[in-house]
Amino acid sequence: MPDRLDGRHALVTGGGRGIGAAIARVLLERGARVTITGRSEAALAATAAQLSALGEIAWVPMDVASGASVAQAFAAARARFGPVAVLVNNAGQAASAPFLKTSEALWQQMLAVNLTGSWHCIGEALPAMLEARWGRIVNVASTAGLTGYGYVSAYCAAKHGLIGLTRSLALEVASKGVTVNAVCPGYTETDIVRDAVANIVAKTGRSEAEALAELAAGNPQKRLVQPDEVANAVAWLCMPGASAMNGQSVAVAGGEVM
């Protein structure tokens, strides 16, 4: 069926909350067996328990910035549900600073979590996909990977890099039954945006409502994107019926980036 993933193993990084948890839910609803990963075991366990009525779900702690942690987590996931057929690289982290106050540590952290982490995970998942001649890789990037934003140069650089990785790998595997795409949310109602709001309030003295309005102003719909809206875009790219979608970067941002 073009809109089902029955029996396929999907692994979602950063799956304990926000967009990742929403992605896990929609993939379960479409028949996948889902492994969620992340650094917070408490969040992973709570989300898995909440979603368990929808289908087979497991959780494994994983730090995408560590190659050893990724290898260990994928081994555990494969032992439970078999090879990963659908990989959603959702784990991410955002930090803001003017360019001249961006430390090397901050720069490397943004690259490690937002770019190298996806590289680690793809390296673990791709061999089995190529062997099966079927696979879906969806990288959750950001509109920051499609355009520039001030005061987040390290984050923008990492997300631009993730889109470059998406496009390059998509061409490499195009004839091998595997598709590679990116979804690029605008400001979405998640912990990352809540942290951004708190940062604006602390640094400018604006109210929380004013800070939220400032972030939403760039969206022509004048609102924050919802996690479920991002999850639905990701799920569509994972479906068998989306086999002609490859190397694309789909903005989920109300028309902010076209």
Residues tagged active-site: 155
User: Of the candidates 258, 257, 256, which has an alpha carbon nearest to the alpha carbon of residue 222?
Assistant: 256
Alpha carbon distances (Å) from 53 to 29, 99, 206, 217, 245: 10, 46, 42, 38, 31
Alpha-carbon distance of 87 to 95, in angstroms, equals 25
Assign 3-class secondary structure to 20-62. HHHHHHHHHHCCCEEEEEECCHHHHHHHHHHHHHHCCEEEEEC
CB atoms inside a 10 Å sphere around CB 202: 10
